[in-house]
Amino acid sequence: MPNRVIYEPKGSAKEYADLALNLYIGCNHGCKYCFVPGVCKITRENFNGTIKPKKDIITRLIRDLELIEKNDEFEKSQVLMSFTSDPYQPLEEELKLTRTSIKLLNSFDFPVRILTKGEDLAQRDFDLLSQVQENEFGITLVMLNEDLQKEWEPFAASPKQRIENLRRAKKRNIKTWISLEPIIDLQEALDVIDNTHEFTDFYGVGKLNYNKHQKTINWKEVKEKVEKKLNHYGKKYMIHKSLEEAQ
């Protein structure tokens, strides 16, 4: 069906979730490693500077959910929000598209998997996420050093804020996870694990791609040491294919 908003990710994105939903176009975080402008064939300046909701996104989401329900198209599974933007853009405070989508997805028995680098607005929907056991709240966190973070993710929430969001989600008995991707610095990645393992249920670990800095990193060492650290704490994790195959 054309213009479907619930979709099955392809390639490496499929490792994160079987289904996905992107509510916004553009993102204000300004991350140097972001691949989305290239994929969407827009300039980085426009992507970071022009954030807007997808046209009629809630109407289209309802249509998709009703058609999926009617046609029994596939087994219901987690829907990730989101790959190509952040579900907690500042604009979300006014529009509440993420909140509305969580309600709709859960009402059709689709659990939600949040992935965000947002500020404390990301805590707003914990009341909804805590109502369905299969819902998850996750953050992208690849470093703790704030100077390094500002270099790579200039307008995203601070590591401290993201960790606080995750900690509070765990206190609400929401399943938590961290996308430890893309790794920029091995020691920073290990420090992230040391400082979050007590309230994180799962880690997704991946390498830096599409950036010249990736050639400066010994990815075999990264994989071995990150796995050792996660096994030490008895954590569940996934090594993404690109890192698994890196030499």
In 3D, which of 102, 107, 98 has the Cα closest to residue 68? 107
SS3 180: strand
Q: Which two tokens stand for residue 51?
A: 């954030």
Strands in 236-239's sheet, in edge-to-edge order, are 19-20, 79-81, 112-116, 136-140, 175-180, 202-205, 236-239
CB atoms within 10 A of CB 36: 17
Is pLDDT at 212 greater than 50 in this prediction?
A: yes
Share of the chain above pLDDT 90, in %: 79
Q: Shortest CA distance to 53 belongs to which of 97, 7, 101?
A: 97
* Distance between CA atoms of residues 114 and 83, nearest Å: 10
Closest CA to 175 of 241, 115, 95: 115
pTM for the complete prediction? 0.95
* pLDDT at 43 exceeding the cut of 90: no
Residue 247 is predicted with a pLDDT of 65
> Given a cut of 60, is residue 1 above it in pLDDT?
no
Task: Extract the tokens encoding 120.
Answer: 């404390």
Average pLDDT over residues 111-133: 98
